[in-house]
Amino acid sequence: MSYRPSGRKGSAKRIPRSSKRRVKANENLDVLGPSQEHAKGKETTETQSNSPAPIYKVGGGGVTDSFSPPSPPRGNSGGKQYRIGGTDRLTLPQADNLAEAVAFADQIGLTLRAHLTVHPVLTFAYADRDGRRAAKVREGLNKLLHRRGVPGGLTGVWVRECKAQTDVSHDHLLFHLPLELCTADALRDLTASILRLVGRHGGGVTSRKAVDLTLYRYAADGRYLLKGGGREVWEKYRLPSSWRRMQGRIHGKRCGTTQNIGPAARLRTLIEDAPLSHLRYGRT
C-alpha cells in the first residue's frame, strides 16, 4: 500500500491501485501514450471488424494492394513439408520425371498438346506464394475436362516459375486435349471456362491475359518446362540459349505430374508389359 503526504500535517491520502503505473525501462516519458479509453476502443474496433486490411506488396508493376488475407502458415498436419526458404531451380531428377511423363503420355495415346499459362498477378489475389490456388485450378480443370468427355480428365505435367528478384509467380501446365476439342470454337469456350475458374480461386481477374491457352501443332516434348533447371539440366536436354534463365525462387511444390503418368503409373505399366521370362519365382 502506498501513501502520499497531503497539505495538512499528520494526515495521509491513499492512492487507488488502478491509478498506479510502473515505468518501463528506457521509456520516454516526454511522449504521451494512448489513453486507456482509446486503447480499449481500438481493441473493440479491431475485434468487431471482420474485413481484412489491405496488404501492400511490391511487384514488377510497383506497389499494389491486395484485399485477400495472407495464407495461413503451413502447419505440421502430417502432409509433406517443403523447404522454408523455397527452391531456386529444378533438380535433375525432377526434370527427368517431367520428361519421362511427357513421353509416357504420348506412348499411351494421351498426347500433351495444350499449353496453359496462368498469371496470378492479374487476379485480385495478386500472388500465389505457396501454390495452393494453382492446385485448386488444376483440380477444377480436371472436373472441367471430365464434363467435356476427356478420358481420365486432366493428364499433364506442370511447373511453377517466378520472375527474377520478385515474388511474382506464374504457372505452366502442359496437358492432353483431344483433337475434337482443338477447334476454334471449342478452344474459345474452354479458355473462357478456365478464366472463370482462375477468377473464382483468385478473387476475380483484372485482365483476360491472366490465362493464356495455346496448342502445339505436333506432340510437345516438354523441354520448355525444363528451363528452370540449372546448367546440368540445360546441357542434358540441349535447351536453346534463349531459354537458359533461372526462374526464381518458389515456395512449396515446384513441379509435378498427374497420377496417371507419374512414376508409379509408369512403373506399373513396365511391370505389366515385362515378359514372364524376366521374372523369377523361387529357385531355378
Q: Where are the domains positioned within the chain?
A: 92-272
- Mean local confidence (pLDDT), 1-11: 50
- 223-246 pLDDT, tens per residue? 999 999 989 999 999 999 999 988
The model's pTM = 0.68
Check: CB of residue 237 under 8 Å from CB of residue 99.
yes
Query: Where is pLDDT greater, at 58 or 262?
Result: 262
Confidence of residue 64 (pLDDT cuts 50, 70, 90): very low
Domain 92-272: top CATH class: alpha beta
Q: Read off the C-alpha cell for 232.
A: 546440368
What's the pLDDT tens digit per position in 81-118? 566 777 888 999 999 999 999 999 999 999 999 999 99
Which is higher by pLDDT, 20 or 265? Answer: 265
Residue of 262, 248, 228, 253 whose CA lies nearest to 91: 228
Mean pLDDT of the chain: 77
Beta-bridge mates of residue 174: 115, 157
